[in-house]
Amino acid sequence: MSSGRIRVAGPGELGEGERERWRALRAASEAPRNPFMEPEFTEAVGRVRPGARVAVVYEGLDPAGFLPYERGPLGQGRAIGLGVSDAQGAILRPGLDLETDRLLRACSVSSFAFDNLEAEQRLFARYAAEEHATYVIDVEKGYETYESVLRSQSPKFLKTTLAKERRLGRQGGELRFVFDEREPAALRTLMEWKSAQYRRTGRRDRFAQEWITRLVGQLARTRAPECSGTLSVLYAGERPVAAHFGLRSSSVLACWFPAYDPEFAKFSPGLVLHLRMAEAAAADGIGMLDLGRGAAEYKDALKTGELPVYEGAVTRPGAGAALHWLSREPTRRAHSFVRSRPRLASLAARTLKGAARLRRT
């Protein structure tokens, strides 16, 4: 279907010319080349989410912009893959004059919700309700430079982690790191570890949702220059002790699902894994690892900087706007209230862990 100069299609219905234009617009963007913003990610979501759509904005016969999104059963819109995607927004020609209300009407949605909107998204940024930090590791100048930064800002952390790595090798078996593992069993092991971690900490198990498990499977088979599924595994002997699945472009490794075998927790294999990922990424020409939003001790120890991302929604006037507010805002505000109060956030985390232990007994 179409609405003037805006065409709405399923992700798999885009022509090769449109996909190439999408990639060219991303290449011209000031934002990091995050693989979540590439057409391959949207196409993978489209295979597992029936509400996935792409609005294509034309100038004459030429595509000038794209908005990947999902349309809910009541006409509410949201960023493609919202809940798991770590970079969101529209892909637009610089300077493109576009009205959000007209775009949403063409998409047949009453709202467009986001929780990891890129900072450069001028079309939607003014509708943000909150700003969050996404933590990044800069390896543009090589791993040795990054390690020197860690020695300066976190000397105890680096010394301790490297010592644990040596002990793990002595006690667990010779260490072997694979940056891009293709063994399906390793991915299944990672998902089992991650599910157990979610349950152990009282959080919602993402891999209990079939569409997320299927999406990861789709992306594990995706091999494109700017969006490639990447499974990294740290082995002790022949046994995997830590693993991570994420997406990479030519310049960004988007960290997504890290986990480790709890039996080896005293060796901090997850931290060792991240150091080896940074080393391998730098050697492969990647300049940045994006650890995602959400505070965590390991992110504070590993990061070299932060980038802003935004959470919020743009809505059209009417009943749809009220429906969006009722379905999302009370929960978002409650989460924001807790996050802004460290003692309350710590209490909430302990409560979740305690509830998880009770469920297991």
Nearest to 299 by CA among 261, 269, 257, 271: 271
Nearest to 72 by CA among 80, 60, 64, 62: 80
The answer to whether the beta carbons of residues 146 and 286 sit under 8 Å apart is: no
Tokens of 252: 């960004």
Packing angle of the helix pair 39-48, 16-28 (nearest 10 deg): 130
For 169, phi and psi rounded to 5 degrees? -65, -35
Q: Name 239's bridge partners.
A: 236
For 249, phi and psi rounded to 5 degrees? -115, -165
Residues of the chain with CATH 3.40.630.30: 135-308
Euclidean distance between CA atoms 65 and 234, whole angstroms:
40
Q: Name 231's bridge partners.
A: 245
Euclidean distance between CA atoms 117 and 356, whole angstroms:
31
Euclidean distance between CA atoms 269 and 103, whole angstroms:
46
135-308 CATH choice from 3.40.50.1370, 3.30.1600.10, 3.40.630.30, 3.40.1280.10: 3.40.630.30
Query: For residue 342, what pLDDT is reported?
Result: 53
In order along the chain (361 residues), what is the average pLDDT of each group of 10 residues? 74 97 97 98 98 96 96 95 97 94 96 96 96 98 98 95 98 98 97 96 94 98 98 98 98 98 98 98 98 95 97 83 55 49 48 46 45
Q: Which residues of 314-328 are buried (b: 16+ CB within 10 A; e: fewer)?
A: bbbeeebbebbeeeb
* Burial label, 335 (beta-carbon count in 10 A; 0-12, 13-18, 19+): middle
Q: Name 260's bridge partners.
A: 242
Residue 103: CA atoms inside 13 Å, Cβ hemisphere, count? 26
The answer to whether the beta carbons of residues 106 and 78 sit under 8 Å apart is: no
The answer to whether the beta carbons of residues 315 and 324 sit under 8 Å apart is: yes
Euclidean distance between CA atoms 282 and 249, whole angstroms:
13
* Burial label, 126 (beta-carbon count in 10 A; 0-12, 13-18, 19+): exposed
| CATH class of residue range 6-131+309-350 | alpha beta
Distances (CA, A) of 235 to 104, 146, 289: 48, 23, 21
Nearest to 127 by CA among 334, 324, 338: 324
The answer to whether the beta carbons of residues 53 and 39 sit under 8 Å apart is: no
Query: For residue 351, what pLDDT is reported?
Result: 42
Query: For residue 110, what pLDDT is reported?
Result: 96
Nearest to 68 by CA among 111, 37, 24: 37
Query: For residue 82, what pLDDT is reported?
Result: 97
Euclidean distance between CA atoms 26 and 29, whole angstroms:
5
Cα 286-292-296 angle, rounded to 5 deg: 120
Euclidean distance between CA atoms 218 and 182, whole angstroms:
13
pTM for the whole structure: 0.88
Measure CA 333 to chain center. 22
Nearest to 55 by CA among 97, 17, 92, 94: 92
